[in-house]
Chains A and B, each alone.
Chain A
Amino acid sequence: MSNPCVHCGEDCANNPIIWNEKSFCCVGCKTVFQLLNENELYTYYKIDQTPGIKIDTQDFGKKYAYLDNAEIISRLYEFNEGDYRRITLFIPSIHCSSCIWLLENLNRLNKGIRQSRVNFIKKQVNISFSENEVSLRQVVELLASIHYIPNITLEDTDKRKSNQQNKKLLFKIGFAGFAFGNTMLFSFPEYIQGTLGIDEKYKILFGVLNLIFAIPVITYSAQDYLLSAFKSLKHRIINIDFPIAMGMLAIFFQSAYEIISKSGAGYMDSLCGFVFFILIGKWYQNKTYQALSFERDYKSYFPVAVTKLDGDVELSVPLEKINENDIILVHNQELIPADSILLKGDANIDYSFVTGESKPVKKHLDDMIYAGGRQIGSSIELLVKNRVEQSQLTKLWNQTEKADEPDNLNKLIDRVSKRFTVIVIGISLLAAIYWSVFNPELVIKALTSVLIVACPCAMALSIPFAYGNTMSFFGKKGFYLKNSDVVEKLTKIDTIVFDKTGTITQADMLSIDYVGDYLSDKEISMIKSLTRNSSHPFSNAISNYYKDISIISVLNYREIPSRGLIGEFDNVLLKLGSIEFVSGTTTYRNDNSSNVHLSFNGEIKGNFKIRNKYREGVDLLIENLRINFDLHLVSGDNDAEKQKLTYLFNTDKNLHFNQSPAEKKAYIQNLKNQGKNVLMIGDGLNDSGALKTADVSISIADDVYHFSPACDAILESSNIKSLTEFIKLSKSSLKIVKLSFIISFIYNIIGISFAVTGQLSPIVAAILMPLSSVSVVAFVTLFTSVVCRKLNVES
């Protein structure tokens, strides 16, 4: 980079904006620098090099006007008393130490801000401010003016709940660990008593103390397992929690009996240790990516509030308060929140996120405009026809609730634990019958001993650690799973369905070829100067295609929507656009491909062929996947690229074009009905129905912190080429889990052989249980790490 922008680090090319001998790539970057400079916040540029964020539009106008609406903001506040307000804002662009520094020094930019704390992992900033001195709108506008644009949705309130659950689990682990340490200490004398034996009064004391610790462990720390086992019994299903709960209860009651009857020391230390280990496994399994959201619904896609027109008065109204026949005002770059009819203005709707098509659609008066599009250009007035929840897009979104129940039954762990439980109960009954004949005194002891040692602690721990480890490795490579269960689901996939636009092609990148007569340097700079004035994706693409070209001033520039651009340079009239527009003829010619023609003074020179650009490595990926998987493509686009795709997929049998979101969903459902395990890879809202229907869904994202539809996993677009490796890796970790099951069965056989003889001593249990758990965890962690490292995945 020859001339990086001081603020954002982007190349300033030939026309930097100079201020104070420093060069900036755009006015936006310069403005932020000036603002920070005025407030003596230069440290921002010292901690990290060029930490700034570049944004396209600096002008946010009335975008945050809804933050003046008391009803809306009262739902956003975390704390609200007197003039003191506290709010947590999600800012996806937090990325470096400088960001933390600046956001924690906000009070130097506005005195009304009392304190601000950044949570880097969640990409959140918690701001306390005084309402009397600064309003929420001003705070948010301040953040936007330094390019830290908060993402405000009403969905955030739900997130706090899961946080509370996480805290509860930590309390449970903390208590179980505390009890484990203490009971071990009190049980120790029993194990080393040797021939002397310990004093009777200490025995009683230690026993009673153990019992006191164990009661809250079983009733509080282990309550989830007991409840889950009880529930599964009610539904007549045996899941992994069932044998666990059975073992825990057996240990607890057997030990309590021994302690109270003074017949033995009990196994309370084993119980506490067991609960402690298994909770750690659960905690490890629950570790997810906190800044990412996999369960997004339409609420997080649409704005919090909409501008409603009441006569001539503009009001900010919460989204759910919009009713049929309301008139709403949609500004430039704003989303259409509900299906409505165009009343006034030039509607140019960009449906790129809904359909994947990047060309904006021109709408006429009285046309129906469906929710989800983005207005480009001047403000428009719309008459709402359907409430937000009733709009086509949100309906599709809400229809498909993933049925979780049958899914869970298919999990390996539950299949294994079902058989395991039956076998264990069988063995314990056999042992009981045997002893009832030969030595009735040992019946109860043998029965409970088998249940105690057979408790599948090691088995229950191997999955969280094996999958959790694989998941965190995936995360390092830009593949973020919703939870570790997805690892196992991935291993079962036999069919992969791709979306086209935005998934295997880059939505915002177009490849350009010029075909036609030679263009002189001057002509090229004219083209560049003309296209840079327009926000149409094709204009952007052409403008970016001619990178280091100087710009000359244009006269009489006009943009005719859906037709082209026109402008004058020193008596040369340049026209760019469709063939009819450029040549001036009215004859209509069917032109399926996307060509931009150009003419100088009415003389046609040639055209730019604009095609979708395929993501890097996609051809190789599809070639590799073709061998083992059944590949399909469903695209909302036309079939202009069919030829290339047929070559890529090696067949045109499974290529489907012009598919509506509902058809995509039905297509997946149909594949599932044929008994296939379907992986859907998509990116936009038009895929959301299909993504929800598929067994596993992956959403491709250029920026993982930005909006993506609800899915099982988010894959960074630059890593799509590694998908084959990811699937292979999941299969390897499933194999490791199976091996670890064998190991834990061996431990169980050893333990049961002690138990059936009715001779299980507390010391054997105290050694065997932690040993089996720790060794299995070590085994799976080590092997998954080895396998992960071996695989050739570029980061």
Chain B
Amino acid sequence: MVVIFVLIGLSLIAAIIFLGAFIWNVRSGQYEDDYTPSIRMLFDDEKIINTENQASKK
């Protein structure tokens, strides 16, 4: 039944990783703005099309 100690250790490590990820999220300000990134995500495509257009013109 020593395996239980190992499993508990593993589960704790996993939980601590998630806690660390959460703290990093908050620190880097990801919870301050939950709207703009969803819009920004769509722009990247447009930019690529744009530069391609310009490239083809040249």
Contact = CB atoms under 8 A, between A and B. Distances in A.
B22 A119 contact: no
Interface residues of B, number: 28
Contact of A118 (B36, B42, B50): B36
Interface in B9-55: 11-12, 15-16, 18-19, 22-23, 26-27, 31-36, 39-40, 42-43, 46-47, 50, 54
Interface of A: 40, 43, 46-47, 97, 100-101, 104, 117-122, 163, 167, 170-171, 174-175, 178, 181-182, 185-186, 199, 202, 205, 209
Given A100-B40, A185-B11, 11 more contacts: A40-B54, A46-B46, A118-B36, A119-B33, A121-B36, A122-B32, A167-B26, A171-B23, A175-B19, A178-B15, A181-B15
A209 B12 CA distance: 10
A779 B33 CA distance: 29
15 contacts: A40-B54, A47-B43, A100-B43, A101-B46, A118-B36, A119-B32, A119-B33, A120-B33, A120-B39, A121-B36, A163-B32, A171-B23, A175-B19, A186-B8, A202-B4
A122 B39 CA distance: 15
Contacts of A40: 50, 54
Most buried by A among B18, B40, B42: B40
Nearest to B34: A121
Contacts, number: 63
A292 to B, nearest CB: 15
Contacts of B35: 120-121
B1 A199 contact: yes
B5 to A, nearest CB: 8
Contacts of A121: 32-36
A174 B22 contact: yes
Contacts of B50: 40, 43
B10 to A, nearest CB: 12
Interface of B: 1, 4-5, 8, 11-12, 15-16, 18-19, 22-23, 26-27, 31-36, 39-40, 42-43, 46-47, 50, 54
B58 to A, nearest CB: 12
B18 A104 contact: no
B43 A104 contact: yes
Contact of A174 (B11, B26, B36, B54): B26
Can you list the 6 inter-chain pairs with the closest CB atoms, starting with the nearest?
A120-B36, A119-B33, A178-B19, A174-B22, A170-B26, A120-B35
A43 B26 contact: no
Contacts of B42: 97
B33 A174 contact: no
B18 A178 contact: yes
